[in-house]
Amino acid sequence: VSTFSGLNAATTSLWAQRRALDVTGQNIANVNTEGYSRQRADLQAIGGSAVPAFYSKGTGIGGGVNADSVLRIRDAFLEGRGHTEHANSARLAEEGAALTLVEQAFREPGDTGVQSLLSEMWAGWEDVANNPKDPAARGQVLQRLDTLVDGINFSHSALGAQWEQSRDNLEVLVADVNAAAESIAKLNQAIQRATQSGLPANDLTDQRDVLVMKVAEQIGGTARPGKDGMMDVVVGGISLVAGSTATSFTVAGTLAADNTTADPVRIVTSTGGYAVTPGGTAQGQLTAMNQIIPGYRTNLDNLAVQLATTLNTAHTAGYDLAGNPGVDILDSSGGPISAASLRVAFSNTDLIAASKQAPVGGVPSLDNGNADEIAQLRQSMTGVDASYRTMIVELGVQAAVTERSLGIQQVITTQVDSARESVAGVNLDEEMTNMLAYQHAYSAAGRLVTAIDETLDVLINRTGVVGR
């Protein structure tokens, strides 16, 4: 054992404690940084020589401490959970938002929704029944019918506008994902180079993990650790980032809300056009565009057809003011009847077939039988009112269920987040305690140097002075 080996051990300690203090400083500085993982100086004792040699035998005392590596503390399993749960949250939030917009398009329950327009229209027929001759009563029932048709047209086009908005949003989202994938690939490359040359890449890794989480939320990507600290990102079985290369996705499918059955909106790879099954926000948007919105548009179409069939059947069974048989009162502005093309067929109030009786001897009857019968259609258990109510209740149930699932999912996500944070986050108390420990260790190492210095002083300057 060399005379100065104690001094050397103290020096390594001074150096290691300073490094540990530096790491503590970095942790404290980043206590509020999004995505920062706490770091720890990895202190390792330098052991004495354990291999016996012929002339040299160690005494078993080590040579000090080594603080070469700085560890980044993060739980890969919890990160994976975090990706999945964040994606689920984002998907449910998107679906919930879509359903809320659908609810707004129907404006129920209230005085402005289709239900109250229907009620007013039926009441209008009773006014005609009260006074079949009055042009005012006849005019107002046509007006109310027109308002009802406008209401149905409006709800339909509001849903269409919502669909187009979602389609635009999806394009933007996919562009955003592509940009993030590009950045992840670049960071992967930088991390690989740093790792290969033995440099710390902890902060680059943090930056990359934030991006991976963002991609997971947007499109439901899952991460797979690769070699040299790199990370691959896979979306629904298709690779988005592989090492230092990124592929890009694009949105395919119809541009018109009416065409989603034949050509649904979907996400595909830019080259090759392979279908991608996304999660996260993108999945929510696809569900809204391919199922939720088209579903309610179809419901509205069916409602329009039912209204037209019911009213036309009843109307053609009567006789108008001139004693002629009634004609269709609702028709289409082009193509088959749908919520978009529905319109009132005529504006001449005399054509309203209020009477049930055929003309007697050329004199038209002024009975109110048909108008009254039409007014009573509102009571039908299988009528338009009942169908519409059923649809609104279904919408309410669907929206409420999604909202509740989202609430539950958010609790789960927060729990996973706080679990991740409890592993990777910085605790100031802990850092303070560490700081104390390192500071004291530094002082102690310094004191050791002084002690050895004094020992040597005795040996060198005070010995051999006998008889001088």
Partner 1 sequence: VRITQRAVALTSLQGLNRNLDALGKLQQQLTSGRVINAPSDSPTGTNRAMQTRAEQAAVAQQARNIGDAGDWLGQTDSTLRLMLETTRRVRDLTVQGLNAGNGSDASRQAIATEVASLREGLIGLANTKIQGRPLFGGTTSGAEAYTSAGVWAGISGAPVTRRLAENEVVRVDITGPEVFGAAPDDLFAIVERIATDVVTDPSLLEGHLTDLDTTISGMLKGVADVGARAARIERVALINSDRSLALSSQLAETENIDLPNTIMKLQMQQVGYEAALSATAKALQPTLLDFLR
Among the listed residues 50, 363, 381, 466, the single contact to partner 1 using CB under 8 A: 363
Of 103 and 182, nearer to partner 1 (C-beta) is: 103
Confirm or reject binding of residue 385 to partner 1 (CB under 8 A).
yes
Backbone angles phi, psi at 117, to 5 degrees: -65, -40
Confirm or reject binding of residue 348 to partner 1 (CB under 8 A).
no
**Residue 216: other Cβ atoms inside 10 A:** 25
| 417 HSE (CA, 13 A, CB side) | 14
Do residues 406 and 93 touch, judged by C-beta distance below 8 A? yes
Write down the least CB distance from residue 155 to partner 1, Å. Answer: 13
Among the listed residues 433, 443, 450, 455, the single contact to partner 1 using CB under 8 A: 433
Confirm or reject binding of residue 367 to partner 1 (CB under 8 A).
yes
Measure Cα distances from 147 to 104, 118, 160 in Å: 18, 9, 20
Measure Cα distances from 299 to 121, 302, 427 in Å: 20, 5, 55
**Side-by-side strand order, sheet with 245-246:** 222-225, 231-235, 238-242, 245-246
Instruction: Taking each helix axis as running N to C, give the angle between helix 280-287 and helix 135-196, from 0 to 180 degrees, rounded to the nearest 10.
Output: 160
Of 394 and 453, nearer to partner 1 (C-beta) is: 394
Among the listed residues 95, 127, 232, 320, the single contact to partner 1 using CB under 8 A: 127
Confirm or reject binding of residue 77 to partner 1 (CB under 8 A).
no
Element at 362 (helix H, strand E): none
Confirm or reject binding of residue 368 to partner 1 (CB under 8 A).
yes
| 110 HSE (CA, 13 A, CB side) | 8
261: burial class by Cβ within 10 Å (0-12, 13-18, 19+)? exposed
* DSSP annotation string for 282-308: HHHHHHIIIIIHHHHHHHHHHHHHHHH
Of 2 and 32, nearer to partner 1 (C-beta) is: 32
Among the listed residues 39, 115, 218, 254, the single contact to partner 1 using CB under 8 A: 115
Interstrand relation of 44-46 and 64-66 (parallel, antiparallel or unpaired): antiparallel
* DSSP annotation string for 99-141: HHHHHHHHT-SSSSSHHHHHHHHHHHHHHHHH-TT-HHHHHHH
Of 8 and 131, nearer to partner 1 (C-beta) is: 131
Of 248 and 410, nearer to partner 1 (C-beta) is: 410
Confirm or reject binding of residue 194 to partner 1 (CB under 8 A).
no
Among the listed residues 10, 67, 99, 311, the single contact to partner 1 using CB under 8 A: 99
Confirm or reject binding of residue 381 to partner 1 (CB under 8 A).
no
Kindly give, in sequence order, each residue whose CB lies less than 8 Å from that of residue 3, ignoring residues fewer than 6 positions away. Answer: 456
Confirm or reject binding of residue 392 to partner 1 (CB under 8 A).
yes
Q: Give the footprint of partner 1 on residues 295-334 (CB under 8 A).
A: 321
Write down the least CB distance from residue 286 to partner 1, Å. Answer: 22
Contact code string over 23-42 relative to partner 1, x by CB under 8 A: --------xx----------
Kindly state the number of chain residues that form the binding site for partner 1, as judged by CB under 8 A.
68
Contact code string over 130-149 relative to partner 1, x by CB under 8 A: xx-xx---------------
**Site residues (vs partner 1, CB under 8 A):** 31-32, 99-100, 103-104, 106, 108-109, 111, 113, 115-116, 118-120, 122-123, 126-127, 129-131, 133-134, 321, 355-357, 360, 363-369, 372, 375-376, 378-379, 385, 389, 392-400, 403, 414, 417-418, 421-423, 425-429, 432-433, 436
